[in-house]
Chains A and B, each alone.
Chain A
Amino acid sequence: MDIPEHLKYTEEHEWLSLDGDVATVGVTDFAQDSLGDIVFVELPDQGDKITAGEPCGELESTKSVSELYAPADGEVVAVNEAVRDTPELVNSDPYGEGWLFRVRVGELPDLLDAADYAEIVKE
């Protein structure tokens, strides 16, 4: 299970990569592996205000539907159009081409580092 050291994580199996006050958000390798082949992704739109802990999208695999939870309060500044057309990017490259959206965050909630997240996944 790939858990890159330089990213931050949520208990909802999302990762964040911070660049100033903009966070790139995706789901973890563990999440994509648990979901199976992802066939549909619903993302917030650019300009949407999202609230930490609230659903802001959906990931649909052949077997199931999972909500995507906003990892922080903020405004969506970019959306990965490529995963809308090619949802399998989330499976093949969850930390790279499979990123989901970018959000300009105000105050960051408490996030997990890679070691803490690895503990959660182990259970």
Chain B
Amino acid sequence: MSTPSPLHEVHAALGASFTDFAGWNMPVRYSSELAEHHAVREAAGLFDLSHMGEIEITGPEAAQVLDYALIGKLSAVKVGRARYSMLCAEDGGVLDDLVTYRLGEERYLVVANAANAGVVASALVERAEKFDATVTDRSTEYALIAVQGPKSADIVRAVSDADLESLRYYASMPATADGIDLLLARTGYTGEDGFELYCAPEQAQQVWRALETAGEPHGLLPAGLACRDTLRLEAGMPLYGHELSAQLTPFDAGFDRLVKFEKDGDFVGRAALTERAKQESTRALVGLTGTGRRAPRAGYAVLGPDGTTEIGEITSGALSPTLGYPIAMAYVSAECREPGTSLHVDVRGKALPVEVVALPFYQRS
């Protein structure tokens, strides 16, 4: 039995189709995922992300806990700012990728993928043991609503007193929306400007309706998880379980810059990642583009220039709604990683020609 979102009734009234996602029953689309995708690129989309996990770390050594628990240097993040980082195992494998908000000198909020929320919460509790800090899983105390798209600032401004000019990308501030106290963050997973609003579940429906009403004249559409996936793929953003897994290190996925070896003290995975950093990568995460309308899909084999030798595997793929041609991410042999390399994808027995390109596929202007 999957958990309904605090916004379930709103979605049902909007005629949403639902899907089970990491134990949650979430809207996959309302009418057309293509229309929702285009709305986010051209106007705005309204997402329910209440399935995400929120874990709070408080106390005098909250910063030290995160420096030890994550690969990034969270102690260097200023109050009010946010940072993308990863939680790794001792062997360097990625257990989750997450966004961490620094809410105060001694207070952080870690936002984990729904499927990994339990793993992240227990790992943080365990890793905090030797420190003077408290880890609390607050997932059930937060609903999460995102407004994403070029019109998102206009829409949030209409319902909130917050000074959006001072709220930079990857920052957060306490604010009100429709009179409700919440955490307003300028973050997202779509490649557009956008906001994420963390509020109490009991108040989520009021916040949602206020944003929906304010967004209507701007062309805002409620948007489901289906378009969230094509939006993040166009933006070249990894999805845990596809581009990231416990069998892969941040180096495998090309996130070398997230591993802060220079920070003080030990961190979980330091020894293994130090070794890994010395090795040449044998494979690389790349972007691929094709022609026509047929898309490579996760799990399809990538074939070399000869069209027969298997040299990699697709991790995500779709016909790009914005670009109109097939796009995919794939792990391929390192010698095939250069942009411009001609490769093939085995699309159900047919070798579809593709070309390696630099990520992202889409960048907002």
Chain A contacts to B: CB under 8 angstroms: 33-34, 36-37, 39-40, 58, 60, 62-65, 87, 91
Distance in Å: Cβ of B107 to nearest Cβ of chain A:
38
| Cα(A21)–Cα(B34), bound, Å | 38
Do A62 and B318 touch (CB < 8 A)?
A: yes
How many Å lie between the Cα of A39 and that of B297 in the bound state? 14
With an 8 A cutoff between CB atoms, is B229 at the interface?
A: yes
Who on chain B is nearest to A39 by CB? B319
Interface string of B289-327 (1 = CB under 8 A from A): 000011101000000000000000000001101000000
Query: Size band of the B side of the interface?
Result: 10 to 19
Chain A to chain B: the 6 pairs with minimum beta-carbon distance, closest first: A40-B293, A37-B34, A39-B319, A37-B32, A36-B33, A40-B294
* Chain A residues near B249 (CB-CB < 8 A): none
Whether A60 and B33, one on each chain, are in contact in the complex, defined by CB atoms closer than 8 angstroms, is no
Q: Which residue of B lies closest to A37 (CB)?
A: B34
By beta carbon, the residue of chain B nearest A55 is B348
CA–CA, A66 to B293, complex, Å? 15
Residues of chain B whose beta carbon lies under 8 Å from any beta carbon of chain A:
17, 28-29, 32-34, 37, 226-227, 229-230, 293-295, 297, 318-319, 321, 348
- Residue of B29, B34, B348 with most chain A CB atoms under a 10 A cut-off: B34
Residues of the A chain whose Cβ atoms lie less than 8 Å from the Cβ of B37? 62
Return chain A residues, CB-CB under 8 Å to B28: 36
Nearest chain A residue, comparing its CB with the CB of B318? A62
Beta-carbon nearest neighbor of B35 in chain A: A37
Give the nearest-CB partner of B225 in chain A: A63
Tell me the smallest distance from the CB of B292 to a CB of chain A, in Å: 8
Chain B residues whose C-beta falls within 8 Å of the C-beta of A87 in the assembled complex:
293
**Contact A37:B293 (CB < 8 A) given known A62-B230, A62-B319, A62-B321:** no
* CB pair B229 A60 closer than 8 Å: no
Assuming the contacts A36-B29, A37-B33, asked whether A63 and B294 have C-beta atoms less than 8 A apart, the reply is no
Q: Cβ of A62 and Cβ of B34 under 8 Å apart? A: yes
Cβ contacts under 8 Å, A58 to chain B: 348
Are A91 and B295 within 8 A (Cβ)?
no
Q: Is the CB of A60 within 8 A of B32?
A: no
Q: Which residues of A contact B230 (CB under 8 A)?
A: 62
Once A33-B17, A37-B33, A40-B319 are accepted as A-B contacts, the answer to whether A60 and B226 lie under 8 Å apart by CB is: no
Out of B17, B293, B348, name the residue touching A39 (CB < 8 Å). B293
Q: Is A91 a contact partner of B32 (Cβ separation < 8 A)? A: yes
The smallest C-beta distance from A90 to any residue of chain B, in angstroms, reads: 13
- Measured CA separation A63–B17 after assembly (Å): 14
